[in-house]
Chain A
Amino acid sequence: SAVISQKPSRDICQRGTSLTIQCQVDSQVTMMFWYRQQPGQSLTLIATANQGSEATYESGFVIDKFPISRPNLTFSTLTVSNMSPEDSSIYLCSVRTSGFYNEQFFGPGTRLTVL
């Protein structure tokens, strides 16, 4: 398994500002993902964070809005840019470790409220 921490755990932000969310894993992992969980809804994959290269974004998500970094095998950041109230969600980091096929472990999430 993997232990995942996220910072901040929650934040309240003003419209038009940006917030960077950090994800730290206690071991090296092959794949890291970022999900969004809008209020009362399920999880939607935003992107796969690739170590040493640009992230791979899902349909409907773009790099200008959600820039992602992954400088090493244990850390990643997601920035929510130029925020609007529609960005109010829980953002979750997820990882897949080698040897656990398709099993993903999730962080505790970052609860973001945009006013």
Chain B
Amino acid sequence: AQSVTQLDSQVPVFEEAPVELRCNYSSSVSVYLFWYVQYPNQGLQLLLKYLSGSTLVKGINGFEAEFNKSQTSFHLRKPSVHISDTAEYFCAVSVRGGGNKLTFGTGTQLKVEL
């Protein structure tokens, strides 16, 4: 079975500073990787996904993530955050050929401060 670890439950950062949200996964087979964002009192919105090809994936709102197979990581980055980026971020994994089941990490609360 696959699993996802998000080591940081909370990440405070000042506006316009860079941020990295960490995600590591465990799986015995190839996976697809996703980052979702959940704004307060809203559902989840897909930020970006890695299916294959280039390991650097660009998403919406200026976010990007890099798939590192040797380190089984898929860290999310943004060079300059804005107050509006304050939200919960979830990393998720889906096994290739394993249907559509998403396994989520426990989430990272990003709090952007002035």
Residues on A lying within 8 angstroms of B by beta carbon are 4, 31, 33, 41-45, 48, 92, 94, 96, 101-109, 111
Q: Is B56 on the interface with A (CB-CB < 8 A)?
A: no
**Cβ–Cβ contact B43 & A92, under 8 A:** yes
**Cβ–Cβ contact B46 & A105, under 8 A:** yes
Q: Among B44, B104, B105, B107, find the residue whose CB has the most chain A CB atoms closer than 10 A.
A: B44
B25 to chain A, nearest CB (A): 13
**Cβ–Cβ contact B43 & A42, under 8 A:** no
CA distance A104 to B93 in the complex (A): 12
Tell me which residues across on chain A come within 8 A of B46, comparing CB atoms. Answer: 103-105
B77 to chain A, nearest CB (A): 21
Residues on B lying within 8 angstroms of A by beta carbon are 32, 34, 36, 41-46, 49, 51, 90, 94, 100-102, 104-107
Tell me which residues across on chain B come within 8 A of A101, comparing CB atoms. Answer: 32, 51
Across the A-B interface, give the 4 residue pairs with the lowest CB-CB distance, nearest first: A106-B44, A106-B43, A108-B43, A42-B104
CA distance A45 to B34 in the complex (A): 16
**Cβ–Cβ contact A42 & B106, under 8 A:** yes
**Cβ–Cβ contact A102 & B32, under 8 A:** yes
Tell me which residues across on chain A come within 8 A of B51, comparing CB atoms. Answer: 101-102
**Cβ–Cβ contact A92 & B100, under 8 A:** no
Extra A-B contacts (11), CB below 8 Å, given A102-B51, A104-B46, A108-B41: A41-B106, A42-B90, A42-B104, A48-B100, A96-B100, A101-B32, A101-B51, A102-B34, A102-B49, A102-B94, A104-B102
16 interchain pairs (CB within 8 A)?
A: A42-B106, A42-B107, A43-B102, A43-B104, A45-B102, A96-B100, A101-B32, A102-B32, A102-B51, A102-B102, A103-B34, A106-B44, A106-B45, A109-B42, A109-B43, A111-B41
